[in-house]
């Protein structure tokens, strides 16, 4: 019995222990090069976008949903954000609003396939990955949306440069503040509101939740709309950080975000997607990547490390899952 308790404790707090071990190991190897204030800011900045996309996945997975199209939809959001600002000369605030509304509109198709057509989440969103890629690249004409480039219809953009306020969104400290704001908002929503409790009830046992009077479709739709808002924020951060919207610029954030969610659901024995756990999972992935880069590990090894983290998180999440 004691042995099982020790194993359970190790699994429940594995992410925290691994994070501490990473800091100790990389500090021992590289010293101040790793533990410097500037590098700590680098880690926080690097994890910010992954965390925001992870929060989007957390909201989706709370009611037992799953979204494989968050990265491609995030790219569409980035196209909408930069094009609104550069091509059409909208203000920064209005560009943000247009981006969020565009993402919400595009997410209606996701909800239609899942709630009306009753297609399983993973199959529906896998199909939509290609739809988003096609629509996005059609809109931008197959090229990037950036300064110095004409529009796909060969017109001069209204603006020829990005303002400092546009670029500031993707830099410290604003990118870190936005990340923390998203985590706090999701934490309060999931843990301290009726909507959040209903989503967790649906994730625990959908049939029981339905029999208890919860409108399954309504709250799944609410979760989808909130997910879309966080995806839009992720797209905004990516394009602001890169000062452009490159082709498929957000696609590569999907797997690290999912890894963060699966790592986070094991923290403290939560056994469910949660905002604070997702942030810890994202920090673990970013710290590993940052430390290995400083240690001059070849860049092509890093995806294998991320895959290993995800595999270990899945083992921790399901190997000792309560019956």
127-152 per-position pLDDT tens digit: 999 999 999 999 999 888 998 888 88
H helices of the chain, where? Answer: 2-12, 14-30, 32-35, 37-61, 70-86, 92-111, 121-140, 164-168, 174-192, 194-204, 206-211, 216-242, 254-264, 275-294, 302-318
Q: Which residue has the higher pLDDT, 224 or 154?
A: 224
Model pLDDT, residue 323: 46
pLDDT digits (tens, 9 = 90+) for 259-302: 899 888 888 766 789 999 999 999 998 998 899 889 888 888 88
How far is it, in rounded angstroms, from Cα 213 to Cα 78?
39
Counting residues of the chain whose pLDDT is more than 70, the rounded percentage is: 96
CA angle 239-242-248, nearest 5°?
A: 60
Model pLDDT, residue 197: 94
* DSSP string covering 106-156: HHHHHHIIIIIS---HHHHHHHHHHHHHHHHHHHHTTS-B-TT---TTS--
pLDDT digits (tens, 9 = 90+) for 237-247: 999 999 999 98
Residue 226 pLDDT more than 70? yes
pLDDT digits (tens, 9 = 90+) for 247-261: 899 999 998 899 899
pLDDT digits (tens, 9 = 90+) for 299-322: 888 888 777 876 776 676 666 555
């Amino acid at each position: 019995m004691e042995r099982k308790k020790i194993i359970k404790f190790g699994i429940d707090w594995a992410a925290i222990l691994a994070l501490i071990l990473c800091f100790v190991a990389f500090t021992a190897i590289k010293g101040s090069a790793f533990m410097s204030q500037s590098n700590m800011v680098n880690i926080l900045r690097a994890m910010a976008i992954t965390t925001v996309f992870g929060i989007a996945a957390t909201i989706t997975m709370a009611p037992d949903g799953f979204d494989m199209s968050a990265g491609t939809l995030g790219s569409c959001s980035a196209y909408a954000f930069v094009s609104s600002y550069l091509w059409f000369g909208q203000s920064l605030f209005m560009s943000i609003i247009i981006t969020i509304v565009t993402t919400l509109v595009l997410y209606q198709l996701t909800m239609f396939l899942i709630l009306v057509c009753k297609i399983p989440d993973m199959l529906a969103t896998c199909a939509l990955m290609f739809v988003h890629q096609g629509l996005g690249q059609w809109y931008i004409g197959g090229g990037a949306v950036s300064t110095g480039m004409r529009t796909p219809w060969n017109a001069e953009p209204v603006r020829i440069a990005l303002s400092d306020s546009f670029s500031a969104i993707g830099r410290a400290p604003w990118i870190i503040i936005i990340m923390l704001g998203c985590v706090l908002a999701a934490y309060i929503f999931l843990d301290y509101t009726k909507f959040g409790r209903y989503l967790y009830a649906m994730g625990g046992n959908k049939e029981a939740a339905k029999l208890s009077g919860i409108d399954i479709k309504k709250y799944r739709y609410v979760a989808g709309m909130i997910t879309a808002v966080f995806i839009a924020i992720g797209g905004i951060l990516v394009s602001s950080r890169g000062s452009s919207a490159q082709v498929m610029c957000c696609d590569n954030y999907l797997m690290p975000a999912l890894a963060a969610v699966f790592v986070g659901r094991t923290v403290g024995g939560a056994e469910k997607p949660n905002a604070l756990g997702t942030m810890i999972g994202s920090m673990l992935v970013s710290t590993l990547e940052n430390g290995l880069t400083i240690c001059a590990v070849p860049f092509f090894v890093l995806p294998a490390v991320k895959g290993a983290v995800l595999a270990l998180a899945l083992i921790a999440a399901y190997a000792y899952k309560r019956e």
